[in-house]
Structure 1
């Protein structure tokens, strides 16, 4: 399952090795027509500016910096994965070496936590580097960079082709056409707002939608809690274990004494599946599309030494219910329907949920309500919305409310108006 394909129309990266600073600027567009897969829809060009200096990381989408505390470790590691960064880090970290096919493998560790290795060929050129970082779904996830087609750029040998993979899939494929040395102002000054930023606590806010139904938000992703006679069910375990633990705690606070028996997963994208393992540790059965079971079981076999979660610390076998087209979770008193959103280009097997009694739809990524009087949907988002609307019509569902897994709860009429707005 590769990452969604985007065109990079412009890319530059400035690194200052003494201060461990990096500024990465990327301009990218969707393919035409857009490739199938995940990622937030956008129109035209998307410009990203990602920065790190020492232990501080931030993004610069406009005039004001946005602290990115969680990205600091990886961005620092990425400096050490560049050809010259790798050599400098190896010299500074008591590296070891051994002969391998294609050259000499050099290995070292960073902060006693991250293992880094690379291959230097017979010409003294770095041709491969790799490390591992924690990922909620893939465990210790490998990042590997391949460097080839070295050229002389004004006296500096540098690869003209760079390919990076994460979790076995390509995330970057660059053709390098310019390299400059001793660039002015390469050492970054950390903005005060970034220097003083602290990681916010995981926040949950619950909203009762009807008897026995709660919308649990407070972050970038939402979950929905359902009370049955003898148990609870939750739709979606997004982000990571910390988020799932907070949602589980809120569920137990709202409905004490009932176990969470089912966790419904709409699709496998990491931002919507990063907290599933926490529910397995809790004893819940995972309800997901057919095919996802094999993916999760394979992914969860990976080591988790960098950030052991509850399931790694106390292993247990996961139980799954695989949904091929539709499935009804009922105890005779409450019914929750699960339907496959046929023709969805965001994820081919994505599910949405429907409560017939409440006339409520729960969906992920196919419609994210904007602010009142906000702009029209971008073309890609409009296409996803039309597909969802077509499936609602096909199934003859009577919907009055949408509880999206991004954004706020809205009347169904907000959805239909958004599809018509130009």
Structure 2
């Protein structure tokens, strides 16, 4: 009786041996329920025709749902033998552009080829997200069975369905699979990670990706979900709907072999770690565009403004490491002057990806009042998997919420910061009265094929904001723009009116 009670107690407590065995048994049962077995019938490849909806979590008009959406259709081909996945998609973006793209994921590499509005872009080799394969239920289950630390967690519930939860760690990704007690099928795959190579998401710290599977169908002996709903940190990110599925179709091996050039790009600075991106860009040197005003061109521009008691930085994009390089450049150009403030002008993730470095150094941050919650969330986000200076030192950051006309400094390079209240986005503009120069955030983008101004709505809004402020503007700069005559905005607005 004592032996039975002791064995029962071990089972109830989840002894390590029993937990591991149970986790494997439950996971194997889930794979078998899908029609796949480890040592018997294997699925070697899949080709799915898909439609999908992507949400713009990083650059919508406002940072809360509902977000701007892209709509795409195409194919996803999985080669389970090679461990590769090829997505070929035609997407209509929220701005009306048409993007034809292919993305080949193999190991830590994603090879991307894009045609944007009929204009081919150079192919790229980028660092793949460390969980790129784990949203696929077959790959996730096989990864679980190969994990030496697979363990069984508590019984839980997903949308009223009782599930067993098994978990494991692969590299720095912590994975949980929710497996139905009723059908034995996988209901949810969840992974926790940090994205060191992603400009927009790295400052968000520890991320939880969650993919829920539904609309199961039987195709050639395989049970497969035809709807995948992915969220990130609880916010809907992507819905993929399969409209047709082929099991074990012949795949072209050439399409699943990345080029040596793409592989070599993984070693470029910043591909794996955004902190390694170099300052500026080689084709556009850092320049003093007016006395004491220095512009640092890049994927997103940074502007330094010297005042008598310190330097004001306009925008903190890309990464903490990039911000550290900006601060070093400011010290080199203006020795003895501290960084007295940083202005972050938009609510877009790429544009304030380096803000935590300024916060860690106790530098005051000026931002639009409506962006207060967004920036606080980023500055307080847990960074357990990828600790930065702010996470290590826990500095109390200093936020100045700009609700109306706000003056920074005095003298020739005095700055006046204005909310763009009639803008459909959440942005600030920054004016230098002594030179009649205006920093327009991302409202003005001369990035069209012949340098024409994009997004007429934004041009109208910045034109209205300038009129509302009652300021006289001769020259504009911005997130993507070297000094440009203000009259180009007025001319573009007249053409569209």
Alignment TM-score > 0.5, same fold: yes
- TM-fit CA distance, 1:262: 0.5
1:258-337 alignment runs, 5 A limit: 258-332=337-411, 334-337=413-416
- TM-fit CA distance, 1:182: 1.9
Query: Is the CA contact (8 Å cut-off) linking 2:412 and 2:434 kept in structure 1?
Result: no
**Residues 121-172 of structure 1, C-alpha deviation per residue, up to 9 Å, x if partnerless?**
1212111111123233321111111111212133221112211111321111
CA distance in structure 1 between the aligned counterparts of 2:67 and 2:125, rounded to whole angstroms: 23
Matched, 1:117 2:205: no
Matched, 1:396 2:470: yes
Query: Is the CA contact (8 Å cut-off) linking 2:125 and 2:263 kept in structure 1?
Result: no
Matched, 1:55 2:108: yes
Tell me the secondary structure at the aligned position of residue 168 of structure 2.
strand
Structure 1 residues 50, 208: closer, same or farther in 2, change over 3 A?
same
CA distance in structure 1 between the aligned counterparts of 2:189 and 2:86, rounded to whole angstroms: 20
Matched, 1:66 2:142: no
Tell me the secondary structure at the aligned position of residue 129 of structure 1.
strand
Structure number with larger C-alpha Rg: 2
CA distance in structure 2 between the aligned counterparts of 1:64 and 1:185, rounded to whole angstroms: 25
Structure 1 residues 58, 242: closer, same or farther in 2, change over 3 A?
farther
CA distance in structure 1 between the aligned counterparts of 2:191 and 2:371, rounded to whole angstroms: 27
CA distance in structure 1 between the aligned counterparts of 2:432 and 2:218, rounded to whole angstroms: 64
Structure 1 residues 358, 133: closer, same or farther in 2, change over 3 A?
farther
Structure 1 residues 235, 182: closer, same or farther in 2, change over 3 A?
same
Tell me the secondary structure at the aligned position of residue 383 of structure 1.
helix
Tell me the secondary structure at the aligned position of residue 134 of structure 2.
helix
Tell me the secondary structure at the aligned position of residue 245 of structure 2.
coil
Q: Structure 1, unaligned stretches of length 5 or more?
A: 35-41
- Residue equivalent to 2:288: 208
Of 90, 97, 100, the residue aligned with 1:27 is 90
- TM-fit CA distance, 1:296: 2.7
- TM-fit CA distance, 1:21: 1.2
Structure 1 residues 54, 416: closer, same or farther in 2, change over 3 A?
same
Equivalences, count: 402
CA distance in structure 1 between the aligned counterparts of 2:358 and 2:486, rounded to whole angstroms: 30
**Residues 357-408 of structure 1, C-alpha deviation per residue, up to 9 Å, x if partnerless?**
111111222111237x816555xx1111111112112222211111111133
Of 70, 73, 78, the residue aligned with 1:10 is 73
Query: Is the CA contact (8 Å cut-off) linking 2:307 and 2:411 kept in structure 1?
Result: no
CA distance in structure 1 between the aligned counterparts of 2:342 and 2:248, rounded to whole angstroms: 54
- Residue equivalent to 1:386: 460
Q: Mean Cα displacement is larger for which, 317-326 or 48-57?
A: 48-57
CA distance in structure 2 between the aligned counterparts of 1:166 and 1:222, rounded to whole angstroms: 28
Matched, 1:45 2:98: yes
- Residue equivalent to 1:234: 313
- Residue equivalent to 2:450: 374
Matched, 1:360 2:437: yes
Q: Structure 2, unaligned stretches of length 5 or more?
A: 1-63, 157-161, 195-200, 270-276
Query: Is the CA contact (8 Å cut-off) linking 1:369 and 1:408 kept in structure 2?
Result: no
CA distance in structure 2 between the aligned counterparts of 1:15 and 1:107, rounded to whole angstroms: 24
- TM-fit CA distance, 1:278: 0.4
CA distance in structure 2 between the aligned counterparts of 1:167 and 1:255, rounded to whole angstroms: 41
Of 111, 131, 136, the residue aligned with 2:191 is 131
- Residue equivalent to 1:199: 268
- Residue equivalent to 1:108: 168
- The normalised TM-score by structure 2 is 0.76
Matched, 1:82 2:136: yes
CA distance in structure 2 between the aligned counterparts of 1:26 and 1:420, rounded to whole angstroms: 37
Measured on the aligned residues, the alpha-carbon RMSD in Å equals: 2.2
- TM-fit CA distance, 1:179: 1.7
